[in-house]
Amino acid sequence: MRRGCGQRSGSVRQALGLSATDPLVLVTPGGGGDGSHLLDTYLRSLETLPPEVNLTSLIIGGPELPAAKKPALMEQIAANPQIHWLD
C-alpha distances in angstroms, 3 versus 26, 37, 42, 53, 82? 13, 25, 23, 27, 18
Residue 8 within any structural domain of the chain = no
Q: How many domains does the chain have?
A: 1
Confirm whether 39 is domain-assigned. Answer: yes
Q: Let me know if residue 54 belongs to a domain.
A: yes
- pTM, two decimals, is 0.82
| Domain annotation covers residue 12 | no
Domain, as residue range, for 33? 22-86
In a domain, 9, yes or no: no
As a whole number of angstroms, the distance between CA 17 and CA 27 comes to 18
Query: Does residue 42 lie within any of the structural domains?
Result: yes
Say yes or no to pLDDT of 32 above 80: no
Instruction: Report whether 61 contacts 36 (CB < 8 A).
Output: no
Percent of the chain with pLDDT over 70: 86
Please state the rounded mean pLDDT for residues 20-26.
94
